[in-house]
Amino acid sequence: MSFIDQISKASARRQSEYFGVGQYLVRINDFKEGANRSGRAFVVLECTVLDSDDLDANPRGSERSWLLMQDMETTPKNVRAMLCAVLGISDSGLTTDMIGKALTPDESTGKSALADLKVFVHAKNIKTRRGTDFTLLNFSTVNQEADSLEDVQF
């Protein structure tokens, strides 16, 4: 097979970026577990930007990801906080079954039960104990009819 044929039959590499500082209205594409090349387990929330407060840096239709390594001490509580926020429920209301449904691919679509859910993301920089910058994401549920940040009400 020629190189041209190989390119023709290949699927394009996914070109997503991590969330930068700002406010976003996004649609969740998927929420799933995986592992990097060295076998380190992660969880990733993949999203499509519907609107942002900086459309030059984060244009509509661009993809943004939130990736957390599962071996980090803070990952379980950060994922739990995200799930509570996007589902609009209290911490005590989040069940093991709900967590399982969010992370288990649907048999017919192969995607998380969170897929197609619209959410608000507020990303801000904080300093870690080591003095390095870290982008902290806060999530909120939104009206599912929202198409712009102007439609998002708190």
pLDDT in tens, 37-59: 899 999 999 999 999 999 999 99
The CA distance from 35 to 32, in Å, is 10
> Residue 30 has what pLDDT?
97
Mean pLDDT of the chain: 93
Mean pLDDT of 110-126: 97
Q: Give me the residue spans of the domains in the chain.
A: 15-142
Distance CA 99, CA 153 (A): 26
H helices within the chain, ranges in order?
3-9, 75-87, 96-103
pLDDT grade for 14, boundaries at 50, 70 and 90: low
Residue 106, pLDDT score: 93
Report CA-CA distances (Å) from 51 to 55, 75, 138, 150.
Answer: 7, 27, 16, 9
- In the prediction, which pLDDT does 12 show? 67
Cα(80)–Cα(94) distance, rounded to whole angstroms? 8
Structure token pair of residue 9: 């039959």
Strand order of the β-sheet with 22-35 is 17-18, 63-69, 41-52, 22-35, 118-127, 133-141
Residue 136, C-beta contacts closer than 8 angstroms, at least 6 positions apart: 123, 124, 125, 126
Q: Tens digit of pLDDT for each residue in 17-41? A: 899 999 999 999 999 999 998 999 9
Altogether, the residues listed in the chain come to a count of 154
| Per-residue model confidence (pLDDT) at position 89 | 96
